[in-house]
Structures are given as structure tokens and as C-alpha cells.
Amino acid sequence: MAPIMQKQPGKVARNLLKWAAGLALSAIPVGSVAQEAAAPAPAPADATAQKPNIVLIVADDLGYGELSCQGGKTVYTPNIDSIARNGVRFTDGYVSSPVCSPSRAGIITGQYQTRFGYEFNSSEAKLPLGIPTLPRRMFENGYAAALFGKWHLGEEKGYRPLERGFDRFWGFLRGGHSYRGTSPENPIIDGFTPVEKQDEYLTDAISNRAANYIRANQHRPFFLMVSYNAVHTPVHVNASREARFSYIPEPRERALRTMLAAMDDGVGKILLTLRKTNMLDRTLVIFVSDNGNTPASQIEDNGGFRAGKASLYEGGIRVPMMMQWPGVLPAGVVYEKPVISLDLTATIIATGGGNLKDYPELDGVDLRPYLTGENNGDPHEALFWRIGQQRAVRKGKYKLVQIYSDGPTELYDLSADPGETANIADQHPEVVRELEDAYAQWNKGNAEPLWGRSARAKDPLDDWEGESPERPDPWIQPPSQ
């Protein structure tokens, strides 16, 4: 596939670029944060031979069309955009689930999470013991592994980040958290210890600790996962940054823009720290959202896609996804073939020196050969999803989706109808049969859900009450969930 280069910005966009030229560096929040405790290892004799670093940045509930590089016109996001400009942006990048915790289980294992019963969001959710994790694989390949921010894969003893492969953790264990302070019920945790005081705006605190970790680990390869809770509810801002959007009269709209701007500032701080420590050229940086947005955290739409979080229509599972590695991956390229977040896991392991033949459980592929032109084929013959009654298959330009078991089987040609507005199942029964057969074969490898509602449940979100994925009512989670 010939790469499609990004279009040059128009006059309005050029003016905006001039306005923001210094924003990526000058507006990055500067916080007073204690140096990370981990002591740097001795520098290798040949620093050029050191393995590449990997930084995986995960946003929370960020819709497809909210970044300016994705067509968003509400908030200019120069730092996140720079990853696409200096690397590869995926137009058809998917996650393996339309809700937070199962999606993250897919990323952290590289497997379809339904293979081990991790189907629903739930207060019971925890990554089953014995399932290999990405940080554990990276440790086996000689990497330090750190997580700053959201975990959402288990709160109990034995299931926490430092017990699942990370050797450094600062953040929270649940699915959401206030952006201000901490609490005994849902604490900010440093390692295993709840912190007594947390005064920084949480997005800034995560970014600052990630940057400090980079500075403290310049002489050993690291896998750093920066797991923001932005732009997930609750809607909290800090006053100094909100002033950038003082021209927005509606408070909630102004606040949501500020939350996205804070995350973009944080990504800028991380990239700047890599540059200042001369590590940018030997670091693979990946940005992805865990699922589509909701009306509660929506700044713009999901890029014109149907529905959002909780739905297997495109708005719930097609997300912003991009990566950069200067000198290794091409710059300014748009990749249009379908890929999935499970590929990020495989790519990270392979980048760290792992032989994917040694990890047969992985459902993803190493994307690097596809991005450099070494392999011009399709990364996947088909992609699959299951959550409750919902099921979906994407193969080539066609997507089969069924929202309810007693509802219609829908078929869409995404090349002509990315908004999934015209069901063409009746016109192409042979395609429907082909995709149904492929799904049935894939589903044989899945397990029954370990918790939450049964596979007969109408609502895939067992901690939301009765909301259909098509309803416009906001799905607002309390901060403790």
C-alpha cells in the first residue's frame, strides 16, 4: 500500500499553527515532583547498542474525532499531533473492547480478553492469575517497567501492578478517580502505599512522574506505560489552564476542552524530556485511546462514526492510534489497513527483542514490517469482537455487527459507509454467511464471562443501568467507579 501523506493545512489552520508553535514546549506544565526512587543502572559500555525504550500512552474515553490530527476543530493538540506528524497515524485502528477494563486487559496481555473471560466492566474485574502480561514479558527481555496512572485490572492483593510485572507504580487501581486530591476509599497509591496528600491536578501529576522516570532511567532500557484517566469523568479542571478557554461561555464545554489540553500538555512534557535526554531517536512512542467517547466526556463527535463507548458500532471501538520512532518508522504516513490494539502489544514485545514465535498466545502482530513496507499484505485476515449480546467481525471493507441476539444482523461496507447507516445484509447474503462462519470459528476459542452479567445481558456495561449503546443519554460514572 502506498502511504497517504497528510494534507497541508489551510489558511485558518496555518494561523492556528503559528499561534501554537510555542505551545507544545512553552505551555507544558512544570511541577515540583520528587525524583523517582529507582536508581539508574550503570551506563552500558556501548550506549548505542542499548535496546530501544518504549513509551505507551493510553487515553481514557477519548473519541476518534477529538484530536486536531484526527479532524477535531475544538481543541488544538499539537503534542499528540506531533506523534502522527513524526510517525504513523492509523485511520482504522481498533481496540478489542468498547469499554475500559476489558480493553486494557487486551492491551496488557496482547490477547482477545474474551479468551480468558474478561468480557465486562465490573467491580469484580481482575486480570486472572497465570495470564502472561506485557510488563512481565518486557522484564524477561531485560527491561524496567513502570506504570503511572490508571490500572483498572484488579484491586486485590496479588492483582496489583507490582504483582503483575511492573516494578514501578504510581496511580490508582479503580476505573476512575477525581482529578483533585485522594481518598481512603479510592487512594492514589505509590507502589503499594496509599499517599496521604495529592495536591497536583492528576493529569499533571501523572505526566510529571512519567517525565521524572525517564530522566532517572536514561541508562537502562525501559517500558513506560502512561495511563491517563483523561478525558474520563468526573469533569475537573485547574484554573490556570482553564484560562486558555475563557472565551467559551458554557462551563462544562470549557472544562472538557481544558481536560484534553492538560493531557496534550503532558504528552508534550514526555516528548520534550525524551528529546532533552537524547532518547527520542531510540524510543518507540505509541498513543491510543482505550475506547470511544461518551456524551459525558464528549468534546466533539466520534469522527462521524455511529454510537460510542459500550457499542460495537465504529464509534465505540475505532479510536485514535498513532506511533513514532524517528529513523525507524516512516514519518507523516497515514496507514489505512485495519489494525487492533493487540498489535501494539506484539509490536512492543518484538521491539524489545522478543521473538513472537515464543509467545503463541498473542493475537496481535508486529506492525513494524507493515509500516516500513517490508510486508505489503494485510496485518489481519479479520478482526473480531464480543461483549454480551453484541458481536462484530471486520474483514476487508465489510463489517458484520449484531447489537442484540434478537435483533437484526447488520452488514456495512465501511469503505463507502463508515458511519454504518445503510445495512446491506440483504444484498450480500454470501458475505454475511462468510463472516458469520468466521465469527463462529473464532468464538470457539473464547471463555464464558468470569463476572458481570451473563452473555444474554442486553447491556454490555454491567455497572451502568439500562442504557442502550444507541441512546444519547450520558453514561456518567461516579468518580469511585
- Per DSSP, what are the bridge partners of residue 200? none
The SS3 of residue 402 is strand
Q: Are 281 and 86 in contact (CB under 8 A)?
A: no
Q: Which residue has the cell 512481565?
A: 136
Q: Are 92 and 338 in contact (CB under 8 A)?
A: yes
pLDDT grade for 353, boundaries at 50, 70 and 90: very high
Nearest to 206 by CA among 260, 255, 266, 258: 266
pLDDT tens digits, residue range 275-284?
A: 999 999 999 9
Cell of 480: 469511585
Those residues with Cβ within 8 angstroms of residue 14's Cβ, 6 or more apart along the chain or in another chain: none
Q: Which residue has the cell 503559528?
A: 18
Q: In what order do the strands lie in the sheet with 189-190?
A: 4-5, 333-335, 88-90, 321-324, 283-289, 53-59, 222-227, 144-150, 168-172, 189-190, 193-194
Q: Are 136 and 373 in contact (CB under 8 A)?
A: no
pLDDT grade for 52, boundaries at 50, 70 and 90: very high
Q: Report H helices in 222-324.
A: 239-242, 251-276, 314-317
Q: Are 103 and 127 in contact (CB under 8 A)?
A: no
CB-neighbour burial class of residue 199 (10 A; exposed 0-12, middle 13-18, buried 19+) = exposed
Nearest to 403 by CA among 390, 386, 417: 390
The pLDDT assigned to 298 comes to 78
CA–CA separation, 362 vs 159, rounded Å? 21
DSSP state of 291: S
171: enclosing H helix or E strand: strand 168-172
Tell me which amino acid residue 372 is. T
Mean pLDDT of the chain: 86
The answer to which of 4-13, 225-234, 370-379 has the lowest mean pLDDT is 4-13
CA–CA separation, 126 vs 294, rounded Å? 24
Q: Residue 12: pLDDT above 90? A: no
144: enclosing H helix or E strand: strand 144-150
pTM of the model: 0.87
CA–CA separation, 208 vs 36, rounded Å? 10
Nearest to 386 by CA among 463, 444, 434: 444
The SS3 of residue 113 is helix
Determine what percent of the chain falls in helix, strand and coil, rounding each to the nearest 5. 30, 15, 55
Question: C-alpha distances in angstroms, 89 versus 12, 71, 123, 132?
Answer: 22, 12, 34, 28
Strands 283-289 and 53-59, sheet pairing: parallel
The pLDDT assigned to 49 comes to 57
Q: Which residue has the cell 506485557?
A: 134
- Of the chain, the percentage scoring pLDDT greater than 90 comes to 79
Q: Residue 138: pLDDT above 60? A: yes
Longest dimension (CA), the chain: 66
The pLDDT assigned to 43 comes to 39
Tell me which amino acid residue 114 is. T
pLDDT tens digits, residue range 86-111?
A: 999 999 999 999 999 999 999 999 99
Nearest to 228 by CA among 245, 204, 248: 204
> Crossing angle, helix 251-276 and helix 78-85, to 10 degrees?
50
CA–CA separation, 459 vs 468, rounded Å? 6
pLDDT grade for 303, boundaries at 50, 70 and 90: confident
pLDDT tens digits, residue range 442-459?
A: 999 999 999 975 443 444
Q: Residue 8: pLDDT above 60? A: no
289: enclosing H helix or E strand: strand 283-289
Nearest to 210 by CA among 259, 156, 252, 263: 263
Would you say the C-alpha torsion 92, 93, 96, 98 has a positive or negative sign? negative
Tell me which amino acid residue 189 is. I
The answer to which of 172-176, 285-289, 364-368, 467-471 has the lowest mean pLDDT is 467-471
Q: Are 64 and 320 in contact (CB under 8 A)?
A: yes
Q: Residue 51: pLDDT above 80? A: yes
The SS3 of residue 346 is helix
DSSP 131-177: ---HHHHHHHTT-EEEEEEE--S--STTSSGGGTT-SEEEEESSS--
Question: What is the pLDDT averaged over residues 465-478?
Answer: 29
The pLDDT assigned to 240 comes to 86
Nearest to 266 by CA among 14, 53, 60: 60
Q: What structural domains and CATH numbers belong to the chain?
A: 50-372 (3.40.720.10), 383-443 (3.30.1120.10)
Cell of 478: 461516579
Q: Report H helices in 144-250.
A: 202-216, 239-242
